[in-house]
Structure 1
Amino acid sequence: MDISEILKKLSDSFGVSSWEHNTYSIVEETLKEINSEIEISKRGTGSLVAKYGNDDKKIAFFAHIDEIGIAISKIVDKDFVRVEMVGGVDPRTLIAKRVIFKTEKGDKLGVIGMLAPHLQDKDKRGQSPSFDELFVDFSISGGTEGLNVGDIGVVEAKSKELENKTISGKAIDNRAGVVSIIKALDYLKKFKFDGTLYLSFNKGEEVGLVGAKGMAYDIHPDNAIIVDVTFAEDLPDNIETMKIGKGPAIGIGAAINKEVNKKLTDIAKNENIDHQIEVLPMGTGTETDVVQLTKNGVKTGLLSIPIYNMHSPVEVVNVNDIDLTAKLLALYAYEEGGNK
């Protein structure tokens, strides 16, 4: 399994919250290549779950598959529409971009223009627009005919390999996590695993942790690991900054089970897996926050892959960090899976 190629395919696919099904075919094809006997099913309101093994000890790896985007909120006239965000979209990341919308008649291309600096009011040049000031122009693709309020769009962006084993693209949050749990299965097949491993590719994290809530209740694993991304940019002086290329960040905090945290940390140290420690004293802002509360509680840990430029069309990740995350996950499953 080539991590870079799968990540680029997933990054380029259209999977805004509520449209995750567009990315599932890539996941299913890759899983079947790893193990043709793996059980794959759609569950709940549309999350994808793969089951490997068949024993009492249930372990689950969770990774949300949806990405942020925009939705048409008003059709203004024959050429222009207004939009609102789906998930945490900064309007500044949309200016001077092409956007693709899914419609009943296929894909529709629009642009979000920007007034030339020569024509801008000097007093407004330094101001950032809000969604109340943005329009999508569809005059380049036949106008607004065929569009409907509620149609979903995303910035048109193609992933690219950069230097030092890094990849840039949209939706690295959280397709990097998706790739890591798939690769973990690829590694795990080399071991004698006697438990049951669930890989849950969840919908709707960006709009309220939607998929993880239902899947945690449905699977109700003994132990769960959430895989998401985290910030690699500079942070306030009192907070440790995660680094790209230094391995996954093992979360520690109130929402994270101490036993799971210790097991992950011990494995990483014993197996010489580069890793970092991320302090999350309150909530984590990830699916960890809901999975650990399911039914009578689930022992839950968190691994985060550092990225640059989160929630933008040019997120950046190091492929080695994804690979190290996968190795740590596979070893965790092996040790916890009741291998006999």
Structure 2
Amino acid sequence: MRSESLDFLKRLVEAPSPSGYEQPAQRVFREYISPYAEVTTDVMGNVIGRIPGGGEGLPRVMLVGHSDEVGFQVKYIDDNGFIYFAAIGGVDAHLTPGKRVRIHTATGEVAGVIGKKPIHLMEEDDRKKVVRLDAQYIDIGAGGKDEVLALVRVGDAVTFVDGMESLLGDRVASRAFDDKAGSFVVAEVLRTVAESGALLPVDLYGVSSVQEEIGLRGGTTSAYRVNPDIGICVEVDFATDQPDVEKKHNGEVKLGRGPVLPRGANINHPLFDLLSGTAGREGIPVQYTGIPRASGTDANVMQISRGGVATALVKIPLRYMHTPVELLSLSDLENAVRLIVAALPGMTGDFIPR
């Protein structure tokens, strides 16, 4: 991966963006795509980049990846200065005790830790239990409530500290690849198209959406705004090449074997065939899975926007989803970009299933 793209990915995933608090990441996305596209931001906070095609009345193609990550929100501060919090999105209560966090306040970040009773002081039965999130607390080292209130307000967002780190080969780990990996691919498609200088036979819209983790909200409003004829959602998918994931439920999905093309009710058949055929023609590795119902992604709401949209999913294999150590292969990101760019010129046909 080129160094500028890798730096963009790192800045994007490390910018805090729990659902409803996405603008630090959206500013990174907006800055990156500004040289390549006409950029607007709507009242929800969705960032939309547009590259007009070569002609009038062209099909509108919308790519979308969501910028929001799971995180926490400050709910209550007790008299001793301990901060109680609630989850934003699906956070596993097993993971949180003993983690370092950052509280994102009006005046900057405040460092904290999620405290936990030492194992020495726990009863045997308690060692086997998961501590409920509403019983966990953040300690910023304050001596009392007033000291906390001088820095932190109820409603402030909280994220894990963990940033992007390179592992062996082209594998990288970070919090928030779900789904800044998708926003990254969308941005790289816009860059690649713009730098090619070619005029596409479609009007291309690249969207970094918001509030996906709490109900596909930004995907709903951005799809209504763009009113696309064709939509591709770029998301992450459960990798099943780790020891404790059941392939019978999720299919065979491996890191480094290319992006995933699902089939199912959420996927337009002619658009799937276009993507799959493009991958074969261009020698781009892809994997296949089945989703027998509406997916839990922005593709779901895009498909049923207005009178309906021909929709497909391009997914990035990901290990350890919704943890601070999500892990992916950079080659899967690059191949997702290659696939979408190569398929765009073919998105002028009839996508009505017959």
Structure 2 length normalisation: TM-score? 0.90
Shift of 1:172: 0.6
Deviations 1:23-48 (A, max 9, x none): 12221222134x2xx21011141110
Is the 8 Å Cα contact of residues 250 and 289 (structure 2) preserved in structure 1? no
CA RMSD of aligned residues (A): 1.7
Partner of 1:291: 302
TM alignment of 1:225-304, pairs within 5 A: 225-233=232-240, 234-237=245-248, 239-304=250-315
> How far off is 1:105 after superposition?
2.7
Deviations 1:129-186 (A, max 9, x none): 1113201112259842232221111111121011110110110111111111111123
CA contact (8 A) 2:278 2:339 kept: yes
Where do 1:74-113 residues align within 5 Å?
Answer: 74-113=76-115
Unmatched runs of 5 consecutive residues or more in structure 2: 350-354
SS in 2 for 1:125: helix
1:193 maps to 2:204: no
* 8 Å Cα contact 1:73-1:82 kept in structure 2: yes
Q: Secondary structure at the match of 1:110?
A: strand
Identify the residue that residue 352 of structure 2 maps to in structure 1.
none
- For the 8 Å contact 2:182–2:236, the answer to whether it is kept is yes
1:316 aligns with 2:327: yes
Does residue 1:218 correspond to 2:222, yes or no? Answer: no
Amino acid at match of 1:144: V
Q: Aligned AA for 2:42?
A: R
Number of residue equivalences: 335
- 1:264-292 CA-partner distances (Å, limit 9, x unpaired): 11101111110001100112111111110
In structure 1, distance between residues paired with 2:127 and 2:19: 33
Cα distance between partner residues in 2 of 1:140 and 1:121:
28
**Match for 1:307 among 318, 330, 335?**
318
Q: CA contact under 8 A between 2:186 and 2:208: conserved in structure 1? A: no
Asked if the contact 1:3/1:319 (under 8 Å) is kept, the reply is no
TM superposition shift of 1:128: 1.4
How far residue 194 of structure 1 moved from its aligned partner, in angstroms, is 3.1
Question: In structure 2, what is the Cα distance between the partners aligned to 1:209 and 1:119?
Answer: 43
Task: Quote how far apart the aligned CAs of 1:61 are.
Answer: 0.2
**Whole-Å Cα distance in 1 between the matches of residues 89 and 250 of structure 2?**
25
Report if aligned partners of 2:183, 2:207 keep a CA contact under 8 Å in 1: no
Task: Give the letter aligned to residue 292 of structure 1.
Answer: Q
Matched residues in 2 for 1:326 and 1:141: separation? 50
TM-score, normalization by structure 1: 0.94
Write out per-residue CA displacement over residues 86-127 of structure 1, whole angstroms, 9 at most, x where no aligned residue.
Answer: 011112221111111122232212111223322221222122
Note if 1:47 corresponds to 2:54: no
Superposed displacement of residue 71, structure 1: 0.7
Measured in 1, the distance between the counterparts of 2:293 and 2:161 equals 36
1:65 aligns with 2:51: no
For residues 254 and 141 of structure 1, the distance between their equivalents in structure 2, rounded to whole angstroms, comes to 55
Query: Do the aligned partners of 2:274 and 2:346 also contact (CA within 8 Å) in 1?
Result: no
Return structure 1 stretches of 4+ with deviation > 6 angstroms. Answer: none
Q: Which residue, out of 144, 153, 166, partners 2:148?
A: 144
Deviations 1:42-91 (A, max 9, x none): 11411100001144221110111111110111111242011110011112
Structure 1 stretches lacking a partner, 5+ long: none
> Is residue 30 from structure 1 mapped to residue 32 from structure 2 by the alignment?
yes
Percent identity for Structure 1 against Structure 2 = 27
Query: Any idea what the Cα deviations from partners look like across 1:165-224, whole Å, max 9, x if unmatched?
Result: 011011011111111111112332324423210001100001110101011111111101
Task: Tell me which residue corresponds to 2:187.
Answer: 182
1:186 aligns to what SS in structure 2? helix
Instruction: Quote the Cα distance in structure 2 between the aligned partners of 1:148 and 1:26.
Output: 25
Q: Is the 8 A contact 1:71 1:152 kept in 2?
A: yes
1:154 is aligned to 2:159:
yes
